[in-house]
């Protein structure tokens, strides 16, 4: 029996804003969408060009309150081939949330407050 990673779900309040953020900040693209016939739930799957792994953005029509992220111990990490350019872009966007210069990494926050780690490609 084998398993493969498929996707990680992120619940969002403003789907349009989240889609724009993930496209601009990380270059992710929409690969598929599912919407319930009653329009109460919409799922949008995003991915990069190199992987089959996806991020699932879940939007609930009637959700008004912010999602609780606890202590933000859970996060997604992205490797970039141009760390300096990524840092400059994210600084310009105003989305850098935390920096750890000693480790050579930083975190950005999406519109719903999810932390996304940015790591230089050391491969």
Domain ranges within the chain, ordered by starting residue: 7-61+75-120
Q: Which letter, b or e, does each residue of 85-97 get, where b requires 16 or more Cβ atoms within 10 Å of its Cβ?
A: ebbebbeeeebeb
DSSP string covering 13-60: S-HHHHHHHHHHHH--EEEEEEE-TTSSEEEEEEE-SS-S-EEEEEEE
> What is the predicted pLDDT for the residue at 46?
97
Tens digit of each residue's pLDDT (9 = 90 or more) over 27-76: 999 999 999 999 999 999 999 988 889 999 999 999 988 888 776 667 89
Q: Which option is the CATH number for 7-61+75-120: 3.30.530.20, 1.20.140.10, 3.30.300.90, 3.10.180.10? A: 3.10.180.10
> What is the predicted pLDDT for the residue at 72?
62
Q: CA-to-CA distance for 46 and 38, rounded, in angstroms?
A: 23
What is the pTM for the complete model shown?
0.89
């Amino acid at each position: 029996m084998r398993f493969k990673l498929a996707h990680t779900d992120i619940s969002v309040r403003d789907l349009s804003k989240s889609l724009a953020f993930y496209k601009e900040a990380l270059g992710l693209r929409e690969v598929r969408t599912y919407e319930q016939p009653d329009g109460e739930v919409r799922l949008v799957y995003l991915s990069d060009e190199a992987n089959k792994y996806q991020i699932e953005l879940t939007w609930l029509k009637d959700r008004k309150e912010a999602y609780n992220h606890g202590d933000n111990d859970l996060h997604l990490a992205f490797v970039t081939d141009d760390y300096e350019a990524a840092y400059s872009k994210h600084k310009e966007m105003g989305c850098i949330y935390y920096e750890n210069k000693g480790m050579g990494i930083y975190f950005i926050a999406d519109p719903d407050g999810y932390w996304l780690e940015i790591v230089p490609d050391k491969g």
